[in-house]
Amino acid sequence: MPLALFDLDNTLLNGDSDYAWGLYLCAIGAVDAADHRSRHEQYYKDYVAGVLDINEFLEFQLKSLAENSTDVLKQWREDYLTQQIEPMIEHSAIALINQHREQGHDLVVITATNSFITKPIAERLGIPTLIATEPESINGQFTGKVNGTPCFQSGKVEKLTDWISKNKYNLTNSWFYSDSYNDLPLLLEVDNPVVTNPDEKLATVASEKGWPVLHLFSNLPSNLIPHY
């Protein structure tokens, strides 16, 4: 079956799940709010510009997982999903997912954000497969390190290639939806790239290549899947 691959943040979600996790931690006093917001905003600017140092960012991002017990983190995550994520899920995103499901496509979320945050979001969206950055865990406790390759830029292609090989899929007639210039390596690999709610740099590439652009959160047709 063809694969329908979806980036998560600012693609299926009307917002950024990782940034929202940081805001949640600030709100409950789990991190120093002023320092955390300042650093995260700079990392986000670097991400949009396509110059993010992913290893430096992940050291920052995963620190809160290492500093707290898994039981506490899971409790926080439940509150975060209700407070931060549910408002980001819009009918249009669910409709797009359902259109691919109805066509018999196999659905995958592929995201740079770590799996501790994103696994329940993918489940909430009804997407059974998640490929994400994996935080290292030893004896049930997060270490603050990454297990394997970060699922970012070319690393996203690497992790998808590994998953495809293990699960006997291929990219024939595949789809990939993304908002970010950082996902250009994977957009170039699929047969049906769809630029979705794009940042400025990716919108420029889409215009040059004639790729369809889907603004998922405004003025939508009833059939969301572009025709090639």
Active-site amino acid positions = 7, 9
Between β-strands 135-138 and 141-146, what pairing exists: parallel, antiparallel or unpaired? antiparallel
DSSP 94-151: HHHHHHHHHTTPEEEEEEEEEHHHHHHHHHHTT--EEEEEPEEEETTEEEEEESSS-S
- 10 Å CB burial of residue 126 (0-12, 13-18, 19+) is exposed
Residue 202 token pair:
């990716």
- CA–CA distance from 218 to each of 48, 93, 130, 196 (Å)? 21, 11, 26, 11
- 10 Å CB burial of residue 216 (0-12, 13-18, 19+) is buried
